[in-house]
Amino acid sequence: MTTKKTTKQSFEDSIRRLEEIVEALERGDVPLDEAVNLYEEGIQLSRACGEKLKATELRIKKLSKDMKGQFEISDLEQ
Amino acid sequence: MANDRTILSVTDVTRQIKLSLETKFPRIWIQGEISNFKQHTSGHLYFTLKDEGAQISVVMWRSRAASLLMVPEDGMKAIVRGSITVYPPRGNYQIDCDQIQPVGVGELQLAFERLKKKLSEEGLFDVAHKKPIPEYPETIGIITSETGAALQDIRSVLSRRFPSLEVILVNVRVQGAGAAEEIAEAIGDMNRYGKIDVLIVGRGGGSLEDLWPFNEEIVARAIYHSTIPVISAVGHEIDFSIADFVADLRAPTPSAAAELAVKDRRDILEVLGNMWYTIDRNVSEMLSSFRENIGRLITSYSFNKPKDLLRESNQRLDDLERSVSVSFSHVLQFAQQRCRTLDQRLEALSPRSVLTRGYAIVRKDGIVIGSSRKLRTGDVAHIEFHDGTIKSRIEP
């Protein structure tokens, strides 16, 4: 639906993938070497999510238009 | 008599009438009922103000019409402010109006009900048209006044719940003349800008007049046409605006809008913790069953070269099992801990890390062998250690 601006996996994608890994492991039909891979993928995803949750400062930017109607982005004075 | 006769041209007499009327009525308030209301394509408004005994034409130029709180309608009682002007080409006079106030406080309410009914009949409030609000938005657009209380409220809630966000503000006036147009334009701009996952449109509490821009048709239509989901956040709990009815989600206040827009990161951490519990438990169980199988393999068959190594690794598996059960006892505390700590500990339990502790994986033809029954005398097995793989043959 939305176009991602970077190839980086979105937070939502990471959570969804973690849910898939949980489901696959719970079904119990995953061979051990695949489980090992899933486990490692899960660690990567969890680290990415954790990083995202660690941020402490909210950044607000202001969107405005210049004389020609082109968008400008600036930092909002706190 | 004939000599006294001063003959005036039509233009002359009209000029005198104009001068006389316009000096006598420079600014007046007139109360009456609106009829023959017409909005010209140019944006100018024309109507007649009448009572039981008389009527008078009124014109309101586009620039002033923009400041109206509501669109006048036939039958509406109003007080009109303006000056009398004479229009010589047509030989008529009219009120050049700069303000129209509905009579009685009920008028705004009536205007509200009328617009609500109209838009409802058009389907602008249909549930089928409402878009889902994304569960984990990364960019949130806010349309409000940069000096208003609403922005501060939203900011503090977002900071507390999920600060790792990109927040894009479009500063608009949220009350008074032109506010509705600015809000509608901002909604269009956010859509054109295009990187926004969800929009919060609103302002803090105020009088009905203050909140009025959010009851205007132009704002309602802009919300309806937004491809970005819109959360409305207008005034207090008790205030309902037209914007609320059109929005994909109505928040009772700006703070509540921020709470509806993002999950609390503590809740997300708990969800992550629970998922890890499940992953860890499943993989640990697979490990211990694999350990049993290796045990069987050792007792059933003897290996050529790596026999001693396997014995050793079997002992170390005891250590592994101990550390796994330690992880079970602590697993419920995961949610309260930082994800990074969690990662580090879980990584230590990873099957690959375990290889460095003397544990080995047996494969035949690239497939992990989980059971001694899968190997026969003469089979070639590859045994993977942390630092490499060796080839072995099963002996009788």
Per-residue pLDDT of chain B (396 residues; tens, 9 = 90+): 456 788 899 999 999 999 999 999 988 999 999 999 998 988 899 999 999 899 999 999 988 887 776 778 888 888 899 999 999 998 999 999 998 887 765 667 778 888 999 999 999 999 999 999 999 999 999 999 999 999 999 999 999 899 889 999 999 999 988 899 999 999 999 999 988 999 999 999 988 888 999 999 999 999 999 999 999 999 887 778 999 999 999 999 999 999 999 999 888 888 888 888 888 888 888 877 777 776 776 666 555 445 555 666 666 666 655 554 444 334 334 434 444 454 454 455 566 666 776 778 888 887 788 788 888 888 888 888 878 888 888 887
Q: Which of B199, B226, B261 is the last residue of a domain?
A: B261
Q: How many domains does chain B have?
A: 3
Q: Which of B234, B261, B288 is the last residue of a domain?
A: B261
Structural domain that includes position A55: 11-75
Return the axis-axis angle of helices B339-349 and A32-54, rounded to nearest 10°.
Answer: 160
Same domain, B248 and B192: yes
pTM: 0.60
Same domain, B73 and B151: no
Q: Which residue has the tokens 């004075």?
A: A77
Chain B residues near residue A10 by CB distance under 8 angstroms: 136, 138
Distance CA A32, CA A38 (A): 10
Q: How many domains does chain A have?
A: 1
How far apart, in Å, are the Cα atoms of B350 and each of A49, B284, B287, B311, B367? Answer: 19, 9, 10, 21, 19
Q: Report CA A1 to chain centroid distance, whole Å.
A: 16
Distance CA B26, CA B83 (A): 5
Chain B residues near residue A28 by CB distance under 8 angstroms: 282
CB B221 within 8 A of CB B184: yes
**What pLDDT is stored for residue B100 in this prediction?**
87
Same domain, B131 and B85: no
Assigned domain for B294 exists: yes
Query: Can you tell me whether residue B33 is helix, strand or coil?
Result: strand
Q: What is the CATH number of the domain that holds B168?
A: 3.40.50.261
**What pLDDT is stored for residue B344 in this prediction?**
53
Distance CA A78, CA A59 (A): 10
Same domain, B213 and B295: no
Q: Which amino acid is at B189?
A: D
CB B258 within 8 A of CB B236: no
Same domain, B99 and B121: no
Same domain, B285 and B231: no
Q: Which of B71, B104, B137 is the last residue of a domain?
A: B104
B136 close contact with A: CB closer than 8 A: yes
In this complex, the residue of B142, B192, B368 whose CB is nearest that of residue A32 is: B368
Does B279 contact A64 at a Cβ distance shorter than 8 Å? no
Structural domain that includes position B220: 110-261
Assigned domain for B4 exists: no
Same domain, B344 and B230: no
User: Which residues, listed in sequence order, are joined to residue B167 by a DSSP beta bridge?
Assistant: A60, B140
What is the pairing mode between strands B92-102 and B55-60? parallel
Distance CA B273, CA B346 (A): 11
In this complex, the residue of B142, B339, B370 whose CB is nearest that of residue A46 is: B339
Assigned domain for B2 exists: no
Q: Which amino acid is at B182?
A: E
Assigned domain for B1 exists: no
In this complex, the residue of A22, A25, A60 whose CB is nearest that of residue B169 is: A60
